[in-house]
């Protein structure tokens, strides 16, 4: 039977015939010792000290303390002192904690299963795995006002007697006083820390102002700002960067990482570029979550949960940014944000002064000189002789495979049909230590599903009808080398477990054999299909997908690397003209312009076939391309339909960028030519997936 007791006097039932005077004496002793035991420095120590004293006198499994914000159901402080269960994830207003706090009286339930007042709450707890039977919750007071709840629970029914309820009520009064004292000390301690932090911030701003008077170099300024900000604001990472006010490119940046962090330019640069694009598009402060940082940076920056980015400007121009990050989930306070704004204002004046003095001009010249040297390097001609092009989209892919090639990891090459996935696979093999070993390719879509297992793993004589002799499979043929599985998305589901085994264990059995074969191969898989969607649809095994998807590389379609089209056209013209014993030295500029505008749904394969046909139709020295066959381009050929609005807008923006030498801002920049703001143009560039600058 359940009951609710409202207790006003800690009499502990000394006159009850059933009273155990020895137990009562021990309870009085505990009450006398409680003030000293609860005089702890931290709130988290309260439940443990209380449990240590009460445990010998009371049989309970769960002790909890909770403090509410005044006149609110919001929890100010909560501690699970003794027990294995966290607080249930349900609205506080539906809990018995709130009932005790709101009604200002204790709650005693002798058997939870027989109490019908909180039936819905009981069922919710049961679904969450909470099986306690007895419950005693007591309100905590200060100056006559409730501040929280002290709770005891047991997995057994009828645990708490009336005498024990009286004793716990008296203990709750002591806990109330101790809790108020501890929380007051915590508030005082935080106030002292805030005051000390503000003093440090004021001292830092004063030192920064004195440093600016001495007109230091920008690198010294950035280094001092990043190191100083981390000292006075609770952060694990800080970074400052200077931008070119004309085109928004990063001129220099400085990072102050944690002491144990291993950051390099490959993890920081993507984060810097992402922050720049954000600032150019919104021109305002930005708060980022962990997912946003993980997207913009690399694994080195993935541990930071909260970040704040403050643009740095002067006279209406965005000249840089200052960002801080930490692993804590708590957001930065308003005072900390105001401090960062003050620092950014001083940085903006310093950067503006440096620009006037010509320092930014010198930095820009140095960056341009480095870019010219990088352009003239015959990097891709030497390492990738079979791949034609120097666009930024292609260079990014080739840079990635340079990292993956020396390793043994599986590479997953994605991209549309005709983009040259096999060439990428061959390039990886040629750059790897296995370059002198066989490169074996298998088109999984071209082999009937019934024969694919035999083709991959081989078979023994008599394994099936027609197997008149033993045959080695492609895995054996590729031993010590590289196996390229083209169109891997067409492998049947029943064959995928065997493929997964050879990828994980490097062993398999021939069809019809029980002897295990071991191989040492490097697998490169490719497909034009959306394997992730196939996994969701149950058409492809998730474990095999993850095993193949160790290092994904996506080959860009030709429409995203239009600047490579002239070089590709010349390459294929020379190739097919040589095969046909012809000499074609002139390619009309109008032909190149039309080919650049065409969307090329078949990508490089379509371009290759088109150029072969054009060479056949060109008897003289000039290429005569059958442009009327192209169904979609931005020209005015009779009978040809117009390209999409997005393609037309993209080409219009590209033309303005080329004419302005890829300068976005300024009087002669692309934004002025297009009649729009620089920030609007930066947003359109990202939306249209236009590379920042051709390589």
Ordered by start, the domain boundaries in the chain are 21-186, 215-362, 386-556, 565-687
Strands annotated E in 37-179: 62-68, 75-82, 107-109, 134-142, 145-154
Buried residues in 285-300 as b, exposed as e (16+ CB within 10 A): ebebebeebbebbeeb
- pLDDT of res. 483: 93
Spell out a b/e string for 604-613, using b for 16 or more CB atoms within 10 Å of the CB, else e: bebbbebbbe
* One fold for 21-186 and 215-362: yes
Report which of residues 207 and 643 the model is more confident about. 207
Counting every residue written for the chain, the total comes to 695
Region 496-524 average pLDDT = 90
Beta bridge partners of 146: 141
Q: What CATH number belongs to 215-362?
A: 3.30.450.40
Tell me the average pLDDT across 491-499. Answer: 91
Pair 184, 143: CB distance under 8 Å:
no
Q: What is the pLDDT of residue 632?
A: 45
Q: What is the CATH number of domain 565-687?
A: 1.10.8.60
Q: Is the pLDDT of residue 429 over 80?
A: yes
- Terminal-to-terminal C-alpha distance of the chain: 81
How far apart, in whole angstroms, are the C-alpha atoms of residue 404 and residue 409? 7
**In this predicted structure, what is the pLDDT of residue 122?**
66
- 636, pLDDT greater than 50: no
Smallest CA-to-CA distance from 423 within 274, 593, 553 is with 553
Q: What is the pLDDT of residue 365?
A: 47
Q: What is the mean pLDDT of the chain?
A: 76
Query: What is the C-alpha to C-alpha distance for residues 677 and 680, in angstroms, rounded to an integer?
Result: 5
Q: How many CB atoms lie within 10 A of CB 2?
A: 16
The residue ranking higher by pLDDT, 644 or 323, is 323
Is residue 291 pLDDT above 50, yes or no? no
- More confident position, 631 or 12: 631
Contact 694, 567 (CB under 8 A): no
pLDDT of residue 510: 87
Q: What is the pLDDT of residues 12-63, one digit of tens each?
A: 444 444 446 676 777 777 777 777 667 765 666 777 778 888 888 887 888 8
Query: How far is the CA of 220 from the CAs of 201, 214, 249, 312, 347, in angstroms?
Result: 19, 11, 20, 17, 12
pLDDT of 182-194, one tens digit each? 777 777 777 777 7
Looking at the structure, give the CATH architecture of the domain made up of residues 386-556: 3-Layer(aba) Sandwich (3.40)
Statement: residue 440 has pLDDT above 90: yes
Q: Which of 88-92, 371-375, 471-475 has the highest mean pLDDT?
A: 471-475
Give pLDDT, residue 629. 82
Q: Which strand ranges, in their side-by-side order, compose the sheet holding 317-326?
A: 250-256, 237-243, 317-326, 306-314, 286-288
Report the CATH superfamily, name and number, of domain 21-186.
Answer: GAF domain (3.30.450.40)
* Kind plus residue range of the DSSP H or E element containing 321: strand 317-326
241-245, 307-311, 445-449: least confidently modelled range = 241-245
pLDDT > 50? residue 298? no
Lowest-pLDDT range, 43-47, 180-184, 435-439, 480-484?
A: 43-47
**Interaxial angle between packed helices 392-404 and 421-431, expressed in degrees from 0 to 180 and rounded to the nearest 10:** 40
Q: Write down the pLDDT at residue 643.
A: 59
Pick 24 or 216 by higher pLDDT. 24
Q: Is the pLDDT of residue 434 over 50?
A: yes
| Residue 507 CB neighbours (<10 A) | 12
Tokens describing residue 104: 């200002």
* Spatial distance between the Cα atoms of 687 and 690, rounded to a whole number of angstroms: 8
Q: Which of 355-369, 443-457, 569-583, 642-656 has the lowest mean pLDDT?
A: 355-369
Mean pLDDT, to the nearest integer, of 622-630? 86
Q: What is the pTM of this model?
A: 0.41
Sort 313 into a burial class: Cβ within 10 Å, 0-12 / 13-18 / 19+.
buried
Sorting pLDDT into bands at 50, 70 and 90, what band is 524?
very high
Confidence at residue 192, expressed as pLDDT on a 0 to 100 scale: 77
What value does the mean pLDDT take over residues 332-337? 83
Q: Which residues pair with 518 in a beta bridge?
A: 507
What secondary structure does DSSP assign to 349-369, as a single string? HHHHHHHHHTHHHHHHHHHHH
* Tens-place pLDDT, residues 77-114: 666 544 444 445 567 777 778 888 888 888 888 887 77
């Amino acid at each position: 039977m359940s009951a609710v007791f409202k207790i006003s006097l800690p009499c502990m039932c000394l006159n009850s015939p059933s009273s155990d005077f020895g137990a009562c004496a021990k309870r009085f002793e505990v009450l006398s010792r409680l003030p000293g035991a609860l005089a702890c420095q931290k709130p988290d120590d309260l439940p443990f000290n209380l449990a240590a004293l009460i445990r010998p006198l009371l049989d309970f499994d769960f002790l909890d303390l909770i403090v509410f914000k005044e006149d609110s159901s919001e929890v100010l402080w909560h501690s699970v002192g003794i027990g294995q269960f966290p607080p249930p994830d349900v609205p506080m207003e539906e809990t018995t904690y709130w009932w005790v706090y709101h009604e200002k009286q204790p709650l005693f339930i002798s058997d939870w299963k027989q109490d019908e007042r909180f039936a819905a709450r009981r069922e919710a707890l049961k679904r969450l795995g909470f099986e306690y039977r007895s419950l005693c919750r007591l309100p905590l007071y200060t100056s006559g006002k409730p501040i929280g709840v002290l709770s005891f629970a047991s997995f057994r029914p009828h645990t708490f007697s009336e005498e024990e309820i009286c004793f716990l009520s008296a203990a709750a009064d002591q806990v109330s006083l101790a809790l108020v004292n501890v929380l007051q000390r915590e508030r005082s301690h935080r106030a002292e820390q805030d005051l000390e932090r503000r003093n440090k911030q004021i001292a830092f701003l004063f030192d920064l102002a004195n440093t600016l008077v001495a007109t230091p170099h920008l690198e010294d300024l950035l280094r001092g700002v990043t190191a100083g900000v981390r000292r006075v604001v609770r952060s694990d990472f800080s970074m400052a960067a200077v931008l070119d006010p004309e085109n928004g490119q990063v001129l220099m940046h400085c990072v102050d990482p944690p002491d144990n962090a291993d950051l390099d330019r490959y993890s920081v640069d993507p984060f810097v570029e992402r922050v720049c694009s954000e600032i150019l598009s919104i021109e305002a402060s930005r708060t980022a979550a962990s997912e946003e940082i993980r997207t913009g940076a690399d694994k080195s920056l993935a541990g930071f949960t909260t970040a704040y980015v403050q643009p740095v400007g002067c006279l209406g121009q965005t000249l840089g940014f200052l960002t801080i990050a930490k692993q804590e989930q708590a957001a930065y306070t308003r005072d900390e944000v105001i401090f960062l704004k003050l620092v950014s204002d001083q940085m903006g004046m310093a950067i503006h002064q440096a620009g006037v003095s010509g320092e930014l001009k010198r930095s820009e010249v140095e960056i341009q000189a480095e870019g010219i040297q990088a352009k003239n390097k015959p990097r891709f001609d030497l390492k990738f002789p079979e791949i034609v092009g120097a666009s930024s989209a292609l260079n990014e892919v080739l840079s990635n495979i340079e990292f993956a090639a020396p390793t043994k990891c599986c590479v997953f090459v994605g991209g549309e049909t005709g983009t040259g996935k096999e060439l990428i696979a061959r390039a990886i093999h040629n750059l790897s230590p296995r370059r002198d070993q066989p490169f074996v390719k298998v088109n999984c879509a071209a082999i009937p599903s019934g024969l694919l297992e035999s083709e991959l793993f081989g078979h023994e004589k008599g394994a099936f009808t027609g197997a008149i002799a033993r045959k080695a499979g492609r895995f054996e043929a590729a031993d010590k080398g590289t196996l390229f599985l083209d169109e891997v998305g067409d492998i049947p589901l029943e064959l995928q477990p065997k493929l997964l085994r050879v990828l994980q264990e490097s062993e398999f059995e021939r069809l019809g054999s029980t002897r295990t074969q071991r191989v040492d191969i490097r697998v490169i898989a490719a497909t034009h299909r959306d394997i992730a969607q196939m996994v969701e649809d149950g058409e492809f095994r998730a474990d095999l997908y993850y095993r193949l998807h160790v290092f994904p590389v996506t080959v860009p379609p030709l429409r995203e690397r239009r600047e490579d089209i002239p070089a590709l056209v010349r390459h294929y013209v020379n190739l097919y003209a040589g095969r046909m014993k012809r000499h074609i030295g002139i390619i009309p500029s109008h032909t190149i312009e039309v080919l650049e505008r065409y969307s090329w749904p078949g990508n490089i394969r379509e371009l290759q076939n088109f150029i072969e046909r054009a060479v056949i139709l060109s008897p003289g020295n000039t290429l005569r391309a059958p442009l009327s066959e192209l169904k979609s381009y931005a020209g005015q050929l009779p009978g040809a339909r117009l390209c999409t609005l997005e393609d037309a807008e993209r080409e219009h923006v590209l033309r303005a960028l080329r004419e302005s030498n890829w300068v976005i801002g300024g009087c002669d920049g692309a934004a002025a030519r297009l009649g729009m703001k620089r920030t609007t143009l930066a947003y359109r560039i990202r939306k249209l997936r236009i590379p920042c600058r051709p390589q």
